[in-house]
Structure 1
Amino acid sequence: MKLKGYILTLICTTALLTGCTNKTDEVIIKDSEKKQMESMQSNYSKNYNLIYSNLIDEKTKDEFIDKLYKSGINNKYIEQFESQLDFYNKVMEGMDGLEGKFKSTDKPQAEYDEVYAIHEWEKKEYLYQDFNCRLTAFELYRDYINANGKHIDEPINLMFDLDSIKNNPLAQFSKEDTNKFISLYDVIKTKDTTDQNVHINEIKKEWKKRDITFKDNKNVSMINAYLHDYDEKELFIGHSGILIDDNGELLFLEKYSFLVPYQVSKFNNKKELYSYLMDRLDVDKTGNGSKPIIMENGNILKFE
């Protein structure tokens, strides 16, 4: 594993390696999608005040959990999520930056004491990883994802995630769930270009090969952000979250990495969400990689 690969993985503790693509299975990108992507990428800026909570206040947590129940997500998965949320907040009690009630800040991102988190986890001698962004999003949304891939070898880029699935006592994933997880999150081979339209085409071709589709739910969707590893010519999902439409107000649930807190952020519209994600993920300064590709379920994230 290259050192550069490890640096990239800090975005969501992701390692990079292999993937494959079906070169004969062309997928046409609609002109409307191209125009949408060009418009989004040409100009984005911080046009929001970040409002967020880490759900350590019981009232705030209960209100959010109730919204999850009303969204149509499987009750069993919500109960599992709540157990993991309570476990993390108990372990990290005392960390600077944890918010109970929703807090507004003019900073583009919430800030947490990750050194404290590392020390607390090591002090308690846990021999497994906590949940990260992909595991959190997938756990809740798994019933709305179709993926029929079967896997013999475990992808190296998901080794930390799969370690959590195997060894974290709060993780409850069936073999079918694990196969679906790998199908969705394994890396995708791409061409040596910064052209996002080419990368989108490769994503769609590979999803077709893996038989990945999403079921509709008007209340909740999955957000996945593809990042470009130009050295390996691969695309990988560097961040994943759940978006809930609460009567027009958007709630975005994420857990950015294994050791940072669960976070729910409020946005007025998807443009604000897009700006928030790009502020965090658009970090390549070399010009060799394409900008992040933000997907909502099976399509490019769209907004007016």
Structure 2
Amino acid sequence: MKSKKALLIICISCILLITGCGDKGEVIDKPIKQLTYSNLTDRASQNELTTALIDANIPKKYVDNFIANVVSFQKTVGKERLTKGGYETIDGLEPTYDEVSMIDSWKLLQPDVQDVNCRLTAFELLQDEIVVKKSYTGESFELFMDADSFENSPQCSINSSDWPDFSALFGSIPTENTKDIQKHLAVLQKSWKEREISFKDNDKISLVSVVFHAAEDKILFIGHCGVLIRKDDEFLFVEKVSFQMPYQVDKFKSKQELNDYLMHKYDVSYNQPSAKPFIIENDQLIEGYRSNPDNPADRTTE
């Protein structure tokens, strides 16, 4: 009897060791149901992010420009429905913004230009971490709105000489019509290798991208992206929600929590010919990648 109890204790200990609070890259069982985030409306949260970015070897001039853009955006659209100061935790994974009001406020003060988006924001911060050795001359028609902001927005500080590198990184990639994520990942990696795109070895910061498959056009494209910072025992994800939508910094305990947040937002289609979106960190599938458990397609297969 004692031997059975001892065996049971050992088994339970092993389970706890495997599933307990270990390395922050661990695979967790349940998707997150709450989001901790900030819109950087106060000096303290801005300073915290500034320190984290500089500690990750991002040049101060890039960080200062980012913070200036945050402040400029808030002056233009106001702070209504943004976090009141610091970070807030909400039930659910999507903050509620008054998108119509923000767009109207932006057009009132800056009628001739649009703000920068997620891709331009991420590239401005990470441009020294991304290496593009080959001049890109391929198609980038899907980046026409990015190009408009690049050319006309005072918030965009990317040099004109860097636009080919931006286009190489974010330009669409021809692919086959399959729902196999691994095949699409291999196609993307091969294409980036041909474009001679690589990422510097920096374990403190990385580019996280949501890759979409457009079956009708047979392409892959990065529909959303942000900057992931490893800070002590947590991760900060820096994103621009969209052109006339706020800057947002999210806190996560693991990369899988970030995956769950992004997939909850973007893995929502079903009964479509396209593959599910997938999340990459630099050029690799993010650790802990999995689909959105609330997607009807996944619920019906359980």
> Do both proteins adopt the same fold according to a TM-score greater than 0.5, normalized to the shorter chain?
yes
- What is the Cα deviation at residue 92 of structure 1? 1.6
The one-letter code sitting in structure 2 at the alignment partner of 1:163 is D
The one-letter code sitting in structure 2 at the alignment partner of 1:255 is K
In structure 1, the residue matched to 2:149 is 164
> Deviations 1:17-64 (Å, cap 9, x if unpaired)?
xxxxxxxxxxxxxxxxxxxxxxx9xx9863252000000011221122
Match of 2:207 among 188, 198, 222: 222
- Give the structure, 1 or 2, with the largest relative contact order (CA under 8 Å, sep 6 or more): 1
- The reply to whether residue 293 of structure 1 matches residue 259 of structure 2 is no
Contact 1:98 1:112 (C-alpha < 8 Å) held by counterparts: no
SS in 2 for 1:251: strand
* TM-score of the aligned structures, taking structure 1 as reference length: 0.82
Bigger Rg over Cα? 2
- The reply to whether residue 116 of structure 1 matches residue 90 of structure 2 is no
Match of 2:229 among 240, 244, 252: 244
- What is the Cα deviation at residue 99 of structure 1? 4.0
- The reply to whether residue 192 of structure 1 matches residue 182 of structure 2 is no
Match of 1:73 among 38, 52, 58: 58
Instruction: Determine the C-alpha separation between the residues in 1 that align with 2:139 and 2:66.
Output: 25
- The reply to whether residue 267 of structure 1 matches residue 252 of structure 2 is yes
The one-letter code sitting in structure 1 at the alignment partner of 2:103 is I
Instruction: Determine the C-alpha separation between the residues in 2 that align with 1:44 and 1:278.
Output: 15
Instruction: Determine the C-alpha separation between the residues in 2 that align with 1:241 and 1:293.
Output: 14
SS in 2 for 1:143: coil
Q: 1:125 to 1:90 in 2, by over 3 A?
A: closer
SS in 1 for 2:128: helix
In structure 2, runs of 5+ residues without a counterpart are 1-26, 290-302
- The reply to whether residue 281 of structure 1 matches residue 266 of structure 2 is yes
> Deviations 1:122-172 (Å, cap 9, x if unpaired)?
111431110111011111011111113434576210011111111112322
Contact 1:48 1:272 (C-alpha < 8 Å) held by counterparts: no
- What is the Cα deviation at residue 208 of structure 1? 1.1
The one-letter code sitting in structure 2 at the alignment partner of 1:201 is A
Instruction: Determine the C-alpha separation between the residues in 2 that align with 1:44 and 1:284.
Output: 23
Q: 1:241 to 1:124 in 2, by over 3 A?
A: same
How much identity, in percent, do the aligned residues show? 36
Contact 1:141 1:222 (C-alpha < 8 Å) held by counterparts: yes
The one-letter code sitting in structure 2 at the alignment partner of 1:294 is I
SS in 2 for 1:80: helix
The one-letter code sitting in structure 2 at the alignment partner of 1:182 is S
Aligned residues: CA RMSD: 1.9
> Deviations 1:234-280 (Å, cap 9, x if unpaired)?
11001110011111210100012101100001001111111001001
Q: How does 1:144-183 map to 2 (within 5 A)?
A: 144-151=129-136, 155-183=140-168
Q: How does 1:35-54 map to 2 (within 5 A)?
A: 46-54=31-39
In structure 2, the residue matched to 1:232 is 217
In structure 2, the residue matched to 1:253 is 238
Contact 2:136 2:165 (C-alpha < 8 Å) held by counterparts: no
Paired residues in the alignment total 263
Q: How does 1:85-164 map to 2 (within 5 A)?
A: 85-151=70-136, 155-164=140-149
* TM-score of the aligned structures, taking structure 2 as reference length: 0.82
Instruction: Determine the C-alpha separation between the residues in 1 that align with 2:107 and 2:224.
Output: 25
Instruction: Determine the C-alpha separation between the residues in 1 that align with 2:266 and 2:71.
Output: 28
Instruction: Determine the C-alpha separation between the residues in 2 that align with 1:99 and 1:301.
Output: 32
The one-letter code sitting in structure 2 at the alignment partner of 1:189 is P
The one-letter code sitting in structure 2 at the alignment partner of 1:227 is F
> Deviations 1:91-141 (Å, cap 9, x if unpaired)?
121432444220001112112110011110111143111011101111101
